[in-house]
């Protein structure tokens, strides 16, 4: 018998198989992990960790107006499925610190099974909401922010007519640039004498968010 569904090896999904983009997280989650992640509180907790780099169950509970018991339970579930891990550099012995672990969601592959689609839609909705909120918060304070950070930021939209091959080439090049910068940051030795939020030279450091979307427009006449 032949199977009409694409296998991971010949899938067009840009996060798995031979067509995977440069810089995509090495771990692609399966349906079980995705459904475990697609819980409102767990997604909010993961977003909180992403914004801050690491945090404790107590700080998450306070920020999200939940009990520490709730955040501790959901942290264990996130850890079970590989979405968070202990931040051993921040542990004090009194309370564990947690940090997010990057992952990719092969939405094309997973959406071939209709039972996965509600979880995928929940991820889409949450991701778009968080993206709009994060950008909106920055734009609301940009007018009185440090000029150096204003010069370092950008919010740009570009629309052109392309072939699929041209769009793929553009996406690959953009992802390769991101991968190169992230690799350099990962390989940089942390300065032992640097203060929190600063480099050894006294330059301010901040958590930086980068959003990148390349997709064909769906236009309804």
pLDDT in tens, the chain (221 residues): 334 444 445 789 999 988 899 999 989 999 999 999 999 999 999 999 999 999 999 999 999 999 999 999 999 999 999 999 999 888 666 789 999 999 999 999 999 999 999 999 999 999 999 999 999 999 999 999 999 999 999 999 999 999 999 999 999 999 999 999 999 998 886 665 566 688 878 889 999 999 999 999 999 87
Say which residues have a Cβ less than 8 Å from residue 19's Cβ, sequence separation at least 6.
11, 12, 13
Q: What is the CATH number of the domain that holds 109?
A: 1.10.10.10
Residues 92, 38: Cα–Cα separation, whole Å = 30
Residue 218 domain-assigned (yes or no): no
Q: Which pLDDT does position 10 carry in this prediction?
A: 75
Query: Which of 38, 176, 61 lies closest to 107 in space, CA to CA?
Result: 38
Specify whether the CB–CB gap between 58 and 99 falls below 8 A: no
189 occurs within a structural domain: no
In a domain, 81, yes or no: yes
Whether residue 213 is contained in a domain is answered as no
Model confidence, pTM: 0.88
The count of structural domains within the chain is 1
pLDDT, residue 29, reads 96
Does residue 112 form part of some domain? yes
Could you list the residue range(s) of the whole structural domain that residue 75 is in?
17-155
Does any domain span residue 166?
no
In a domain, 10, yes or no: no
Residues whose CB is less than 8 angstroms from the CB of residue 183 and which lie 6 or more positions away in sequence, other chains included: none
pLDDT at 8: 47
């Amino acid at each position: 018998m032949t199977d009409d569904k694409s296998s991971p090896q010949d899938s067009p999904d840009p996060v798995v198989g031979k067509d995977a983009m440069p810089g995509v997280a090495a771990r692609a989650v399966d349906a079980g992990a995705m459904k475990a992640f697609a819980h409102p509180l767990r997604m909010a907790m993961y977003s909180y960790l992403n914004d801050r780099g690491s945090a404790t169950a107590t700080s998450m509970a306070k920020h999200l107006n939940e009990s520490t018991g709730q955040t501790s339970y959901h942290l264990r579930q996130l850890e079970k499925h590989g979405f968070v891990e202990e931040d051993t550099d921040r542990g004090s012995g009194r309370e564990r610190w947690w940090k997010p672990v990057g992952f990719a969601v092969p939405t094309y592959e997973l959406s071939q099974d209709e039972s996965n689609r509600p979880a995928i839609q929940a991820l889409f909705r949450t991701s778009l909401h968080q993206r709009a909120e994060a950008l909106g918060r920055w734009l609301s304070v940009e007018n009185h922010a440090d000029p150096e950070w204003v010069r370092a930021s950008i919010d740009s939209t570009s629309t052109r007519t392309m072939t699929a091959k041209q769009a793929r080439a553009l996406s690959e090049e953009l992802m390769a640039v991101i991968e190169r910068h992230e690799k350099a940051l990962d390989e940089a030795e942390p300065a032992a004498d640097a203060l929190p939020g600063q480099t050894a030279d006294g330059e301010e450091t901040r958590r930086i968010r980068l959003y990148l979307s390349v997709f064909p427009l769906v236009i309804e006449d």
